[in-house]
Structures are given as structure tokens and as C-alpha cells.
Homo-oligomer: A and B are copies of this chain.
């Protein structure tokens, strides 16, 4: 079965980094399908790289790669990781009652736009079970009340661990995750916030937007961190609205933006195109 290797690197900037990595690949007969680099602004001056190598004909076997690359990485003080396109990430979707983001993800997954396995969908409501099961995906209904919040989150985490989940997508999941949860999945939880962050942080952003009389509404996909709505932004987009749009019209128009923004962010993440540079993201589109 054919596959590609993806190599993700960040390290202090310096001369010769591209040469070092690409020569390493050439030495092992690797065909570089794509390469992208970026150096962040001073004072950090971090070098970021994403390289995709054709597995076919590459001289290093999967189990050999790490040992072969480690000395080079050490020499340049690289943080690095590899992924293989024939081992798709395992993605869980958490959802409440709104179905638009969920269904868009499922449709794209079914259309093979998203390279992932989806072992389960978890919801605190039963409403969307049939929709999910129609795609052959198990639906776990874990209701939550103020009193059972901790226990329910423990159940969620147990399921994620059991299913060896690599990525958690909050597709309009209306519960705030605990810092412990977030800390256990660093840069592995993607949320869609239904506003153009940092405007309208918190609850009811469309209501807030309507009251302020904005002419544009937006959506923001971001990694979840302990601070609410403040994690690194992956993707944002907007739609125009007018005075004629009531809150419910903004909600309708916003659905379109939310699902597009989230699905694209998830696709980029699954293709290892998103690296985190402190509280910002580098997206190698």
C-alpha cells in the first residue's frame, strides 16, 4: 500500500537547515513531494518546516527513520515528529444539539476529504444519534447536569482513551472542558467559536453582534487552551449581514460560515499543516 511520510520540524533558525534535511532525504533516495518553511519574527526566530516524502522508493523503513534522523535533529536542536498517510488520525467529534458542523464533517469524511478514522461521536444530548449512526459511526449519549459535570467529563475522557483518539473536534459542543481535559490533549482539541474572535468572546455572540449593529459576522476555529476562546486561531472567515438580519438570520448565515471554517481547520490539522508558534498558528496551506 502506497503512503507518504510527513516530517514536521521546529527549531532555532540557522543557516543550512533546509540543506541538512533535504540532503538527508536525498541521501536516502527520498522524493520530496512538497516542502514549506517559515521563520517566525524576532525575538523567537523559530524555524518551522513541513516536508512530505513519497514512501515509494524511500530508502528508510518506517522503523528505521527515527534512529537515522535523530542525530541530525539533535545537532540542530529540532523538535520533530513524523506521520504516515496510511495511518490516519483517529478523530472524535463532540456535539450538543446543533447538527450543521457535525453533518458537514461527516459528509466530507464520507467524501474522503478528511483523512481520518471516526470511531465515535459523543453528545450530551440524544438528538443526533440517528444522523450519526446512518454513517455507521457509534453515537455515545452522555448527558450532563451541573452536578454530574465532572463525572460526565471523566466518562468522555475514558472513551477517548479507550478509542485512542488523536483529535477531538468540538462541533458546537456547548460544554466548557476542564483545564485537566485540555491539558491532556494539547493542540489536539479544535473548537468552532461562532464569532470573529477576539470580538464577542463568550456566550451568545450573534446576540452580541446584533446589538452592536455589525455588518459582518464571523466564525473562528481554534485550538482549545485553558483560557476560554483564547487559544491559537487556525482559521477564520466572515459573511456580510445587513440591518434586515435579525438574530435568527445571523444564526442561519452563521451556520454556513461555521461549518466551512471548522471543516477546513480540521482538514488542515489532519494533513499536518498546522504548527503552533506560541499563541499563534503556522498554517502551511
Contact = CB atoms under 8 A, between A and B. Distances in A.
A243 B23 CA distance: 27
A134 B107 CA distance: 14
A175 to B, nearest CB: 22
A55 interface: no
Contacts of A29: 15
A32 interface: yes
Given A15-B26, A18-B18, A213-B279, 5 more contacts: A16-B26, A19-B19, A33-B39, A40-B243, A111-B255
A37 B34 contact: yes
Identical subunits present: 4
Interface in A98-116: 99-100, 103, 107, 111, 113
A237 B216 contact: yes
Contacts of A111: 99-100, 252, 255
B213 A236 contact: no
A22, A39, A246, A256 interface centre (most CB from chain B within 10 Å): A22
14 contacts: A15-B29, A18-B22, A35-B37, A41-B246, A100-B107, A196-B199, A196-B216, A213-B232, A213-B280, A214-B233, A242-B285, A243-B277, A243-B283, A256-B260
Interface of A: 15-16, 18-20, 22-23, 25-26, 29-41, 99-100, 103, 107, 111, 113, 130-131, 134, 196-200, 212-216, 218, 232-238, 240, 242-244, 246, 252, 255-256, 260, 277, 279-283, 285
